[in-house]
Homo-oligomer: A and B are copies of this chain.
C-alpha cells in the first residue's frame, strides 16, 4: 500500500489494454485527490480534474458514472490508507499509551497526505455516502479496539453504547483539532505539543485506569 502513488506509469514497458485502462482511472483518481485537497469538493469540477489528469473531459465518464461517484470513492479509499498508516505506527505498549500513539499518528498522516484534511472534513457535506462508508470503516474498528482493551482490564465502567459515543467524540475532537491547528497558509503543519498533552491527560484520566498518566511524558 502506498498513499503516495507514483506520478508516472509504474513500468517503462508497454502496457496492455487492461493496464492502460487502470492507469487512466488511477490518473483521474489522483488528480481528483489533488484538486479536492487543494480547492475542496465544491471547486472540484470535472473540467478541473480531467485537466489535472491530462485527459479529455469525456474520458472521465468512461471510468465513473458521474462526478459524484468519484467524489464518494475518494475518502473511503484514502481512509483505508490512513488506517494502515496508524496501525503501523502503533506499538505494543499499554493501552493508554497506544491511544496516544494513534492520536499522534493521525496527525502525522495528515502531514504525509495533506489532501486528506479537506477530503475528510468536507466529505460529510459533499460526499455524504462516501463519508458514511468511511465512518463505518473507522468507528467499527475503533470500538473493537476499545472492547479488547476493556476485556484486558484496562478500561471498565463503559458500556458498548458508551464506547460508540466515546469513539465519535474522539473522531470529532480529532477532526476539529486538525482543522484548527493543522491548516496554514501553504500546507499542513504539525500539531502543537500542548494539544497532544491535553489529549493525553483527558484520555488517560477519563477513560483508562488511574495507574499511570505521567509515566510517559514526552
Contacts and interface: CB of A to CB of B under 8 A. Distances in A.
Interface of A: 40, 42, 121-122, 124-126, 135, 157-159, 161-166, 168-177, 179-180, 192, 194-195, 197-199, 201-207, 210
26 contacts: A121-B124, A124-B179, A135-B180, A161-B198, A162-B194, A162-B197, A162-B198, A164-B194, A165-B195, A165-B198, A165-B199, A166-B198, A168-B176, A169-B173, A169-B177, A169-B198, A170-B173, A172-B176, A172-B177, A173-B173, A175-B176, A176-B176, A201-B206, A202-B206, A203-B206, A205-B207
B177 A168 contact: yes
Nearest to A175: B172
Q: Is the interface of A mostly helix, strand, loop or mixed?
A: helix
Given A168-B173, A171-B176, A207-B206, A162 B201 contact: yes
A73 B173 CA distance: 25
A179 to B, nearest CB: 7
**Residue of A163, A168, A177, A210 with most chain B CB atoms under a 10 A cut-off:** A168
A56 B28 CA distance: 24
B201 A158 contact: yes
Nearest to A176: B172
A105 to B, nearest CB: 17
A79 B203 CA distance: 29
A202 B169 contact: yes
Nearest to A206: B206
A180 B194 contact: no
A171 B126 CA distance: 21
A166 B202 contact: yes
B40 A194 contact: no
Contacts of A202: 166, 169, 202, 206-207
A198 B206 CA distance: 10
Contacts of A198: 158, 161-163, 165-166, 169
